[in-house]
Amino acid sequence: MRERKGIIVFVAWRELRFARGRFLLIGAVVALITLLVGFLSGLTGGLAAQNISSVLQLPGDRLVLQQPENSDPSYATSSLDENTVTAWEQADGVESVTPIGIVQSRASASRIDDPTGVALYGLPQHASGTQSNPLFDLAPVHDDEVGVSSGAADDLGVETGDTISITGTDFTVSVVGDDLWYSHTPVIALTPEAWSEASKRVGGTGEATVLAVTANADWEAIGAATGTVAETPLASLTALEAFQSEIGSLGLMIAMLFGISALVVGAFFTVWTMQRAGDMAVLKALGATTGSLVRDSLGQASIVLIAGIGVGLAAVIGLGTVAGQALPFIISPITTLAPAVVMAVLGLAGAAFALRSVTKADPLTALGSNR
């Protein structure tokens, strides 16, 4: 095994052992940066999930929100009246329209005195075009029932069959479902009628917040005619104020970290590879092919990167599992593997950038006395 690897990176492998300290150092830096990026990604992912996980479950091709005259559309203020809903339903190419209400309020259970902030969803039964869907699985059948997401059930300390009070009205918990959130509050689902009443009691209009529309239609034309805007579910997230500010700042931090790591890791391998240029010139004079030297250099960079990233990733998963009990933290391929791959690519890019000093190394310089 060692001999096999040795053939590919004979010199590089021995350099790794010879300059152990230096490589341990850069490996540690790679590991630390991977840990930082991974941890921040996990946290960002966790926060994002607390913000948008329910919105991402909304069905349909597009989500229709009210388009205010002088500002951007917003989930918090959107209100779509009967006429607007009807206009969408009757527009050309529209297959189905599901009106959905969202409003933030408070709920309390008799067992726990303190009320809990919750997001109330007004959901019809079995929205057309949806099969099993974690959000719609919460939709209750009767107006005096609610479906409670697991986060809300935990906060309120309730189970199926318990009673909770929302804006002064009592409801029976008909189902406890998945962990769904809207703008950092856990979701509770009501029937559209019950939701409309609740919305009015907290100062809302009682009209739908968003329409989930399945259609093959001229979205912009219908939107303009009805004073609405139809966005893809992902694009509609910018209509969540909390999401925009949070992801904006955390995203900036992650981007900056990537920038810094690109510089650190890239610069190290650039300098290191350039330092090897003298030895590369000797090997070339002795008859080494450029290909074998490139493999040697990239192989060396890969070994250091893979080891550093591996350690960093293990730390992310370890610490993330611990942190996940207290913080919103997500361990998923996007928050672990994606940063790892980006780190590897950046490091190799740095090494590849410096490869010119290997491929251009003049074997003649080996002959001179001024090496």
Binding site for another protein (CB under 8 A): 6-7, 10-11, 14-15, 17-19, 279, 282-289, 291-293, 295, 363-364, 366-369, 371
Residue number with CB closer to another protein (6 or 93): 6
CB of 283 to another protein, least distance (A): 7
Instruction: Give the nearer residue to another protein in terms of CB position, either 264 or 293.
Output: 293
- Name the minimum Å distance from CB 20 to another protein: 11
Angle in degrees, CA 45, 51, 57, rounded to 5: 95
**H/E run at residue 153:** helix 150-156
Give burial (CB, 10 Å; 0-12/13-18/19+) of 82.
exposed
Residue 245 or 289: which CB sits closer to another protein? 289
* Contact present, 30 and 312 (Cβ < 8 Å): yes
φ/ψ region of 76 (left if φ > 0, alpha if ψ in -120 to 50, else beta) reads alpha
The DSSP code for 325 is T
Nearer to another protein, 226 or 300 (CB): 300
Q: Nearer to another protein by C-beta: 134 or 278?
A: 278
Q: What is the pairing mode between strands 116-122 and 185-190?
A: parallel
Which is nearer to another protein, 1 or 326 (by Cβ)? 1
Nearer of residues 325 and 369 to another protein, judged by Cβ: 369
d(CA 317, CA 330): 10
Cα 2 versus chain centre, distance? 40
* Least separation in angstroms between CB 31 and another protein: 23
Please return the burial class of 114, using the count of CB atoms within 10 Å of its CB with bins 0-12, 13-18 and 19+: exposed
Nearest distance, CB of residue 4 and another protein, angstroms = 11
Residue 12 structure tokens: 């590089």
Nearest distance from C-beta of residue 15 to another protein, angstroms: 4
How many angstroms separate the CA atoms of 61 and 120, rounded?
A: 23
Kindly report the CA angle at 268 between 33 and 1, in degrees rounded to 5? 85
Least Cβ distance, residue 281 to another protein (angstroms): 9
Spatial CA neighbour of 176 closest among 139, 155, 149, 136? 149
Helix (H) / strand (E) containing 315 = helix 290-323
Least Å distance, CB 27 to another protein, is 17
Residue 21 vs 291, nearer CB to another protein: 291
DSSP secondary structure of 30-81: HHHHHHHHHHHHHHHHHHHHHHHTTGGG--SSEEEEE--SSS---TTT--B-
Cβ at position 5, least distance to another protein in Å: 12
Closest to another protein by CB, 57 or 273:
273
We find the least distance from the C-beta atom of residue 3 to another protein, in angstroms, to be 10
* Residue 325 tokens, joined: 């009990």
Q: Which two tokens stand for residue 174?
A: 């008909």
Shortest Å, Cβ 48 to another protein: 47
Q: Which is nearer to another protein, 18 or 157 (CB)?
A: 18
